[in-house]
Chain A
Amino acid sequence: MSESLLSWGRWPRRPQRAIALDWLPDHLPTLGPSKLLPRGQGRSYGDSCLNSRGLLLTTGALDRVIHFDRETGVLRAEAGLTFDDLLRLCLPAGWFPPVTPGTRFLSLGGAVANDVHGKNHHGAGTIGHHVRALELLRSDGSRQLLTPADTSGLFRATIGGLGLTGLITWVELQLVPTRGPWFESHTVRFSTLAECFEIGPELQARHGYTAAWIDSLAPAGQSGRGLYICGDPSDSSEPAAWREPRLRIPLDCPEWLLNPLSLKLFNTLYYRQPLKQGRVHAWPFLYPLDVLADWNRIYGHRGFQQWQCVVPSADAPALCAELLSRIRAHRQGSFLALLKTFGSMDPAGLLSFARPGVTLALDFPMLGERTARMLQELNALVREAGGALYPAKDAQMSAEDFRSGYPRVEEFEGFRDPLLESDFWRRVRGGGEA
C-alpha cells in the first residue's frame, strides 16, 4: 500500500511506502532487505517519521485500550492511541495525561519515541518519566516487557529512541488526577528579552504550566517582547459546556500569504491582544493550534522548517538574543516563537531532548537554500554553546550537530534494532539523506 505520506512540516517531500498495522503483530514483517520505521500520526516536523528507502509501519489502527483502572489512573493502551482519544476517555473519569505536548493529535508511541515535554516540564518532566511499562517487538523475534527498573538499558534507549529500538506495541502510563477540563490562566506582557528572563523564575515557581511567546519580528528596540503564558489546572469541576470550533485549512495556501509583512502584523496583533486572565478550557490553553485542522497548509506547498534548541541556562539570555538578531538579519521571521525553561530533573532517555536549560522553538517558511543557510548558522551557535537540537522538529542538523548534542549516541547504537532506520537517522549518522 502506498500513499503520499509527509511529515508535519511537509518538507522534505519524498515518496513513502507504508504498511498499515491493523492488529498487534507477533513479529515485525520482514520484507527482504527493506528497513522499517514505525510511524504514529506523523506529527514530527522533519524527517524522523520518514523512511524513503524502506517501509513505514503505520500504527493508526493500533489504538485499542488494553486496560484502564479508573481508581488508580493507570492506563495501558496500544501505541497508536492518540492523546485526543486518551483525553476523551480519561477526563470524564477524573484523570489527565501527566505530560502533553502542544497538540493532542499525536500517538502514545510517538510521544514515547520522542520523549515529548509540555509547558509543565519544570515540575513534571517528560512523558518518559511517567511510563510504567511498555512492550517492544524486535526483529530478532523477541518481545520485551520493559519497565523503569530495567537494568539492560533498553528501556532508557527506547524512551526518546525515535522508534529505532523496536516497535512499541503498547504503553502503560500513570495519569494524574484532575478536577475537570479547566485551567486558571495568567498572562504577563513583557517588553524585552531581558525582562522575560527576569520574571521567568518567579512565574515558574508559582505556576505548574509556563511558556513564553516571543515576537521574533519586533522592531529592534523592542526585540524579545512577548507574553508569558502561565496556568494551573483549575479546581472547578464545572461540566465542560465548551465546544471547540472545528476549522480546517482546506487547501495549500498561496505562498505569498506568509511574508515578512503579514508575519509582522500577526505578531504585533498577537502581542497587543487583550490578556486573558482566569478560567479557560484546557484545549485553547494547551492546544491553541489544534483548533485549525491541517494548519501546516498555511505555509503552502513548500512546507516549513520547525526549529527547536535547548541551551544551558547560564548562556541562555545572551544566546537567545543573539539567535533572534541573526534571524532578524536574515529577514526570516517566525510565525510563533516559544521559550521555556526546563526543569532540572535528569532526562528519562538516552537520546532525550529535554534537559536542564532553556529551550527556544521557532518555525520558518521553507525558502530552500536561504532557510537552510540560516539554520546552519543557528545550529552552529547552539553547538558552540553546548546545546542540542530537537530531532522531532528537525530536517537540517548535521552529523556533527547531532553528535555534539547527543554524546550518548554510540551507547544508543548498541540498542538500535538493525532492521529499523529513518531518513533522519541516515542523515545524522552519515548514511546519506534517503
Chain B
Amino acid sequence: MQSALILGASSGIAQAFGRLLAERGVTLYLVARDPRKLEAVSADLSARGACLAGTEVLDLNLHAEHAAMLERAWAALGPVDLVLVAHGMLGDQAACEADPALAMELMRTNYAATGVLLLHLATRLEAQGRGQLAVLSSVAGERGRRSNYIYGSSKAGLSALLSGLRARLAPAGVQVVTVLPGPVRTAMLAGRPLPPLTVEPELVARQLLRGLERGAHTLWLPPKWRAIMAVIRALPEAIFMKLKF
C-alpha cells in the first residue's frame, strides 16, 4: 500500500489507523470537517512519518462537493490504493425521539451523505480498476435494538449498500470492505458511560490493517462481535422485543 485517502480523518479510529499507515510511510490525503482538528491530525501524522499529499476541510454532508473533492484527492495522490470512509455520528437517541428533526441529521450523515459519497467513489475506483474501499459501519446495524435503533438503522442501510457495492465492484478488481466495530473508546462516546466490551482505537486500527492485508470483505472488530451478533440476530422477535439493551 502506497497511497490512502482518509475521509473523516479526525475520527478516533481513523486517527489510530492513520498512524499505522504513517509508520509505514504511506502517502495520505486527509479530509475532515473541523479545520483545527484536521491541522492537529495532519501535523501528528506527518511527524510520525506519513507523506501528506494534501489535506482538505470539508463537511462530507455537503454532497454537492463530493465530486470536486475526489477530483482533487486523485490529482494529489495519483492512483489510490486505499480509501477509508470514517464519516459518521452516534447521535443521542432520546433527543431524536423527542425531536425527529434531529433524527434526520443522524440518518443523513450516516446513510444518505455517506451513501452518495460511496457512489462517487465507486465510479472512480471502477475506472481505476483496483484498490480497496473500507467503510466504517457498525455492529449496531445488525439488528435494531431498543437503545439505539435510529443509529443502528442508519448503519444497517449503509451495510446493505456496501454489500451491493462489493458485488458491483468485484469484477473491476476493487475490493469493498465492510468494517463492523463494536464500541470503541473515542470522542464518539465522550460523556457517556462506556458500554461493556469497549476497546481502544489502537487495537481496532491494528486489526483493520491486518484484515485489509488479508483481503477480508467483512471485518468484525474485535472478531468476537461476529459470534455475539450471530446470537443477537438469532433471538426470536418475541423475546428480542422485550429486551431493553
A20 to B190, alpha carbons, bound, how many Å? 7
Q: Is the CB of A2 within 8 A of B193?
A: yes
Closest to A26 in B: B36
Chain B residues in 8 Å Cβ range of A2: 193
Expressed in whole angstroms, the minimum distance between the Cβ of B100 and any Cβ of chain A is: 27
Secondary structure at the B interface, as helix, strand, loop or mixed, is helix
Find out whether the CB atom of B40 lies under 8 angstroms from the CB atom of A24. yes
Chain B residues contacting A19 (CB-CB under 8 Å) are 191
> Within residues 1 to 52 of chain A, which ones have a CB less than 8 A from any CB in chain B?
1-3, 19-20, 22-24
Q: Which bracket fits the contact residues of A?
A: 10 to 19
Q: Cβ of B193: which chain A residues have Cβ within 8 Å of it?
A: 1-2
* Also in contact, A64 and B194, with CB within 8 A (given A23-B37, A23-B187, A89-B48): no
A61 and B43 contact, CB distance less than 8 A: no
Closest to A70 in B: B47
* Known A22-B186, A61-B12, A89-B48: A67·B43 in contact at CB below 8 Å: yes
The answer to the question of B192 belonging to the interface, with a C-beta cut-off of 8 Å to chain A, is yes
Give chain B residues whose Cβ lies under 8 Å from the Cβ of A66. Answer: 40, 43-44, 47
B189-217 contacts to A (CB < 8 Å): 190-194
CB of A68 closer than 8 Å to a CB of B: yes
Contact in complex: A65, B43 (CB < 8 Å): yes
Interface string of A102-127 (1 = CB under 8 A from B): 00000000000000000000000000
Instruction: Name which residue of chain B comes closest to A63, CB basis.
Output: B44
- Inter-chain CA distance A265–B193, complex, in Å, is 44
Asked whether A68 and B47 contact (CB < 8 A) given A23-B40, A23-B187, A24-B40, the answer is yes
Q: A22 to B40, alpha carbons, bound, how many Å?
A: 12
Do A61 and B194 touch across chains, with their CB atoms under 8 A apart?
Answer: no
Please state if B194 and A1 are interface contacts (CB–CB under 8 Å): yes
Known: A23-B40, A23-B187, A61-B187. A1 touches B192 (CB 8 A): yes
CA distance A1 to B186 in the complex (A): 13
Please tell me which one of the listed residues B37, B40, B43, B190 contacts residue A1 in the complex, with CB atoms under 8 A apart. B190
Q: Are B47 and A65 in contact (CB under 8 A)?
A: yes
Contact (A64, B187) CB under 8 Å given A1-B194, A2-B193, A89-B48? no
Nearest residue (CB) in B for A69 is: B47
Which residues does chain A contribute within 8 Å of B12, judged by CB atoms?
Answer: 22, 61
B194 x A3 contact (CB < 8 A): yes
Q: How close is A5's CB to chain B, nearest CB, in angstroms?
A: 12
* A89 to B23 Cα, complex, angstroms: 9
Shortest Cβ gap from B213 to chain A (Å): 20
Shortest distance in angstroms between A272's beta carbon and chain B's nearest beta carbon? Answer: 40
Q: How many residues of B contact A (CB 8 A)?
A: 18
Within the complex, the shortest CB–CB distance from A84 to chain B, in Å, comes to 11
Instruction: Collect the chain B residues with CB atoms within 8 Å of residue A3's CB.
Output: 194
Residue of A nearest to B189 (CB): A1
- From A20, A23, A61, A65, B48 is in contact (CB under 8 Å) with A65
Q: How far is the CA of A220 from the CA of B117 in the complex (A)?
A: 76
Q: Please report the C-alpha to C-alpha distance between residue A24 and residue B44 in the assembled complex, in whole angstroms.
A: 13
- Docked CA distance A3–B12 (Å): 20
Is B41 interfacial (CB-CB < 8 Å)?
yes
Residue of A nearest to B15 (CB): A64
B195 to chain A, nearest CB (A): 12
Contact in complex: B187, A67 (CB < 8 Å) = no
Least distance between A68 CB and chain B CB atoms (Å): 4
* Complex Cα–Cα for A24 and B41 (A): 12
Of the candidates B40, B186, B191, the one whose C-beta lies within 8 Å of that of A64 is B40
Given A23-B37, A64-B41: A1 touches B191 (CB 8 Å cut-off): yes
Tell me which residues across on chain B come within 8 A of A88, comparing CB atoms. Answer: 23
Q: B186 — which chain A residues lie within 8 A by C-beta?
A: 22, 61
Separation of A3 and B192 alpha carbons in the complex (Å) = 11
A22 to B187, Cβ gap below 8 A? yes
Contact present for B37 and A89 (CB under 8 Å): no
Provide the bound-state CA to CA distance between A68 and B193, in Å: 35
**Closest chain A residue to B200, Cβ basis:** A60
Kindly supply a per-residue 1/0 record for chain B positions 171-189, scoring 1 wherever the CB is within 8 Å of any chain A CB and 0 otherwise.
Answer: 0000000000000011100
B36's closest neighbor in chain A, by CB? A23
B40 / chain A contacts, CB cutoff of 8 Å: 23-24, 64, 66
By the criterion CB–CB under 8 Å, are A22 and B41 in contact? no
**Chain B residues within 8 Å of A68, by CB:** 47
Of chain A, the residue at the smallest CB distance from B19 is A85
Bound form: Cα–Cα A1–B183 in Å: 15
Q: A22-B186, A89-B48 in contact; A64/B43 too (CB < 8 A)?
A: yes
Please name the residue on chain B nearest to A68 by beta carbon.
Answer: B47
Please, which residues of chain A bring their CB within 8 A of the CB of B190? 1, 20, 22
Report the Cα distance A88→B40, complex, angstroms.
19
How far apart sit A23 and B37, CA to CA, in the bound complex (Å)? Answer: 8
Residues of A contacting B187 in the complex (Cβ-Cβ under 8 angstroms): 22-23, 61
- 0 or 1 for each of B1-16: is its CB under 8 Å from A? (1 = yes): 0000000000010000
- Contact partners of A61 in chain B: CB under 8 A: 12, 186-187
Q: Considering the complex, which residues of chain B in the window 22-41 have a beta carbon less than 8 Å from any beta carbon of chain A?
A: 23, 36-37, 40-41
- 20 A-B pairs besides A1-B190, A1-B194 with CB distance below 8 A are A3-B194, A19-B191, A20-B185, A22-B186, A22-B187, A22-B190, A23-B36, A23-B40, A24-B40, A64-B43, A64-B44, A65-B43, A65-B47, A65-B48, A66-B40, A66-B43, A66-B44, A66-B47, A67-B43, A88-B23
Q: A residues within 8 Å of B by Cβ?
A: 1-3, 19-20, 22-24, 61, 64-68, 88-89
Query: Can you give 14 A-B contacts (C-beta < 8 A)?
Result: A1-B191, A1-B192, A1-B194, A3-B194, A19-B191, A20-B185, A61-B186, A65-B47, A66-B40, A66-B43, A67-B43, A67-B47, A88-B23, A89-B47
> Closest 6 interchain pairs by CB?
A64-B44, A22-B187, A65-B47, A68-B47, A65-B44, A64-B40
